[in-house]
């Protein structure tokens, strides 16, 4: 541990306190009754192919909102304008992915009712997909993830469903099964149930063991599932099955709201962060080939179990959770959107969002108040992405019955960074399932490209890496088909598009300082 601290301190310049400033955006709130106590997601995607990330925001009972990113220059003051959309209502959240590999980002929209697959087109035009064979039953859908299995032309889609609203014995103990759509050729087969379901609020396809197969992790809300419910990890075999205790999977119970996955310590193995009521749970994958995860200790500073401001000492409620390097010091930080479900008396009503800054020794410290993120609205879905392409991740928060918030990261000084856009031939043109490795010779950053996680919110933004003091790094990619490139050196503070060239990399600079 001491050696790791010394390496990281040499690699990282001195960092200032992060500063986030609110940005004026068109008015929007996530509204509705009981069915919209959960959800409230935002999808981050470049829908007009100008590189700047745009925002598709769920509205609950209100219509969705599509915001075009109108930031005038790279690194300039963030700006957004409303784009006309059909009045899609009863939405929970949305996740972007290029389903048909045509180069335009599509959307999986989660709803109370039938879920939608929207086909992206030029100038942020979205229309319902036809010809895919996708048919959604009516559910209260609150989670989503996707991956490409084998050489399939279409991605496999997993939808996580919540309480059966039509069950007269509900709501407790009436969680619905989840739904898995696998393609057959160029169309989707009928949805297969993933049963039992325990009221999923987040799911993530991830190749946790780096063995070439993405399994499906599901985080569930123990408020509604009956005795016997727990967190789940589905082995994505031809007939999916749950991992058992004999294989290393441990029964785990929490009010699971969101999932985030990131290699925090440079060992090549991703940690998992789970948001919940009360304690948030950072988990480390133990050594070996089993899916065995252990909770971080309290001393790590990651539980974020009570509000740090507002004077309300009751337990906190975490929703969307996301990693990002707020200062570019080479150490990933954590943003957690917070807020009471509605009026739950045992939980804090004054419950500000968290910004947990990672320290060189692996601990985390709270910086939300000083950073300007201590909003007391009921936060739900969110994003922690670089919206103006200046190398600093910004923050979006969707609030229940309160205005949408966008915060521009104005932290100075900063370390070095890269923004990476991976491309490959169809299918799966955005290389979902690839692993990116970056090293400066002292430490290594490893990142898996995934679709899912968070709370009803997904991102197809370019991959941001904070790199501390590194002025040059080497990059290696393990592509979804298992092919691995050799190492290739690049300068930092650039936006790069990367594709395969033999056993090397074809690198196109989209912006150079």
Q: Do the Cβ atoms of 373 and 406 come closer than 8 Å?
A: no
pLDDT < 50 positions in the chain: 1-12
CA distance 377 to 385: 21
**What is the H or E stretch that residue 300 is in?**
none
Assigned token pair, 310: 């507002």
C-alpha to C-alpha distance for 498 and 507, rounded to whole angstroms: 5
d(CA 406, CA 23): 5
Neighbours of 289 (CB within 10 A): 10
Using only C-alpha atoms, the chain has a radius of gyration, in whole angstroms, of 21
Residues in the chain: 513
Strand (E) or helix (H) holding 144: strand 138-147
Of 255, 277, 276, the closest CA to residue 348 belongs to: 277
- Chain centroid to CA 249: 23
Mean pLDDT of the chain: 95
pLDDT tens string 218-244: 999 999 998 889 999 999 999 999 999
pLDDT attached to residue 13: 53
Enumerate long-range contacts of 498-503, CB under 8 Å, 24 or more apart: 498/420, 498/421, 498/422, 498/423, 499/422, 499/423, 499/424, 500/424
DSSP lists the bridge partners of residue 215 as 206
What pLDDT shows up at residue 120?
98
Q: Report d(CA 88, CA 162) in Å as an integer.
A: 20
Please check whether residue 449 is in contact with residue 465, taking contact to mean a CB–CB distance below 8 angstroms. no
Alpha helices in 302-390 (DSSP H): 368-371
Angle at 263 between CA 374 and CA 430, to 5 degrees: 95
Buried-state track 473-500, b at ≥16 Cβ within 10 A, e below 16: bbbbbbbbeeeebeebebebbbbbbbbb
pLDDT at 287: 82
**Burial of 292 per CB tally in 10 Å (0-12, 13-18, 19+):** middle
Spatial contact of 344 and 319, defined as CB atoms under 8 Å apart: no
Q: What is the model's pLDDT at position 228?
A: 87
377-391 pLDDT tens trace: 999 999 999 999 999
HEC profile of 194-230 = ECCCCCEEEEEEECCCCCCCCEEEEEEECCCCCCCCC
Q: What is the pLDDT of residue 227?
A: 83
């Amino acid at each position: 541990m001491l050696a790791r601290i010394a390496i990281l301190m040499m690699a990282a310049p001195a960092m200032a306190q992060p500063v986030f400033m609110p940005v004026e955006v068109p008015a929007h709130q996530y509204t509705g009754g009981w069915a919209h106590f959960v959800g409230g997601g935002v999808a981050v995607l470049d829908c007009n192919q100008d590189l700047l990330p745009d925002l598709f925001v769920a509205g609950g009972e209100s219509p969705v909102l599509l915001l075009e990113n109108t930031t005038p220059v790279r690194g300039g003051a963030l700006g957004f304008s409303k784009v006309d959309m059909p009045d899609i209502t009863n939405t929970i959240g949305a996740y972007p992915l290029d389903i048909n590999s045509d180069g335009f980002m599509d959307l999986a929209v989660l709803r109370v009712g039938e879920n939608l697959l929207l086909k992206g087109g030029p100038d942020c035009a979205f229309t319902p997909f036809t010809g895919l064979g996708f048919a959604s039953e009516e559910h209260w859908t609150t989670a989503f993830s996707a991956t490409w299995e084998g050489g399939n032309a279409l991605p496999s889609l997993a939808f996580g469903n919540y309480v059966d609203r039509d069950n007269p014995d509900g709501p407790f103990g009436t969680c619905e099964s989840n739904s898995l759509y696998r393609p057959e050729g160029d169309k989707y087969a009928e949805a297969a149930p993933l049963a039992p379901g325990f009221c999923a609020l987040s799911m993530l396809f991830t190749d946790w063991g780096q063995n070439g197969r993405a399994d499906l992790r599901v985080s569930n809300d123990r408020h509604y599932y009956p005795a016997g419910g727990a967190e789940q990890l589905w082995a994505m075999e031809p007939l999916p099955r749950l991992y058992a205790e004999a294989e290393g999977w441990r029964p785990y119970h929490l009010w699971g709201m969101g999932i985030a996955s990131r290699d925090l310590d440079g060992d090549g193995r991703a940690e998992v962060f789970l948001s919940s009521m009360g304690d948030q749970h950072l988990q480390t994958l133990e050594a070996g080939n089993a899916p065995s995860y252990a909770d971080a200790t309290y001393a790590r500073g990651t539980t974020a179990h009570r509000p740090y401001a507002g004077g309300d000492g009751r337990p906190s409620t975490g929703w969307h959770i996301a990693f990002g390097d707020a200062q570019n010091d080479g150490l990933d930080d954590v943003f957690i959107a917070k807020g009471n479900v509605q009026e739950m008396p045992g939980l804090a009503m004054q419950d500000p969002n968290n910004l947990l800054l990672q320290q060189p020794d692996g601990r985390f410290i709270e910086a939300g108040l000083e950073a300007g993120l201590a909003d007391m609205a009921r936060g739900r879905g969110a994003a922690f992405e670089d919206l103006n392409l200046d190398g600093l991740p910004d923050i979006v928060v969707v609030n229940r019955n309160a205005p949408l918030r966008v915060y521009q990261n104005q932290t100075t000084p900063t370390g070095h960074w890269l923004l990476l856009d991976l491309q490959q031939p169809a299918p799966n043109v955005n290389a979902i399932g690839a692993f990116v490795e970056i090293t400066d010779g002292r430490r290594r950053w490893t990142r898996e490209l995934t679709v899912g996680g968070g709370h009803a919110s997904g991102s197809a933004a370019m991959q941001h890496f904070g790199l501390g003091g590194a002025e040059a790094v080497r990059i290696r990619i393990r592509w979804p088909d298992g092919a691995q490139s050799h190492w290739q050196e690049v300068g930092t503070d650039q936006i790069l598009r990367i594709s395969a060239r033999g056993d090397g990399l074809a690198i196109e600079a989209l912006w150079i300082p």
